[in-house]
Amino acid sequence: ETGVTQSPTHLIKTRGQQVTLRCSSQSGHNTVSWYQQALGQGPQFIFQYYREEENGRGNFPPRFSGLQFPNYSSELNVNALELDDSALYLCASSGRDSKETQYFGPGTRLLVL
Amino acid sequence: AQSVTQPDIHITVSEGASLELRCNYSYGATPYLFWYVQSPGQGLQLLLKYFSGDTLVQGIKGFEAEFKRSQSSFNLRKPSVHWSDAAEYFCAVGAGGYGNKLVFGAGTILRVKS
């Protein structure tokens, strides 16, 4: 069984640029959630996708957007990058039921200069 | 709104000693509770979870946690810590229903002295 994978592992961007992060969900999982983990903090929920539609969103501005594809993989897009967007971005896959465990990928470390 | 408090930012224990990491949550209904562990540069690994039933939950790597509704707590314990347990530990509460968002605490960094 393949776990959750994310790409790239590290990324450096400059302020104002745009970035796309990718996530492949674990086999059999149809729900993908994205979290932002700033240095020294716990992960914060960005949004969740189920069957290619956004299914819940945290307190993040619209410049954070996402997609889910028919194979349940997902992308996180961030436009107009700000210095505070520097963080570890974690993807988690699960079944849709709230009792389903979320399995996390290794994350993408984004540095905005 | 849900929230999670982990009062201890850092904890240092000696190898072989017992461990308790504290977690308090705020949630109106019956919570779904989780403990995850994160090693440096890694993602999160689930240690254990509580949905209902027996309030003492067993997890992987010898960890257990006890749900106490009266104290709004879900503390993580291990009777004998190993050097490989050094990591950061996160408590999380699930909102339940669809749109299954997890709300995490700020984490506790565990250091193990040999």
Return d(Cα B17, Cα B5) in angstroms, integer.
24
Cα atoms found within 13 Å of the Cα of residue B49, Cβ hemisphere only: 15
Among residues B9, B10, B6, the alpha carbon closest in space to that of B74 is found at B6
The pLDDT tens digits along chain B (114 residues) read 789 999 999 999 999 999 999 999 998 777 889 999 999 878 899 999 998 888 999 999 999 999 999 999 999 999 999 999 999 999 999 875 555 789 999 999 999 998
Tell me the C-alpha to C-alpha distance, in Å, between residue B37 and each of A42, A101, B28, B34, B96. Answer: 11, 14, 26, 10, 21
Closest CA to A34 of A23, A26, A42: A23
Q: Cα angle vertex A87, ends A82, A88, to 5°? A: 145
Q: Look at A106 and B43 and tell me if their CB atoms are within 8 Å.
A: yes
Considering only residues 24 to 83 of chain B, which have any Cβ-Cβ distance to chain A shorter than 8 Å?
32, 34, 36, 41-46, 49, 51
Q: Which residues of B touch A56 (CB under 8 A)?
A: 98-101
User: Which residues of chain B make contact with A55, given a CB cutoff of 8 A?
Assistant: 98-99
Q: Which of B100, B113, B114, B107 is nearest to B22 (CA)?
A: B107
- Nearest residue on chain B to A89, alpha-carbon basis: B43
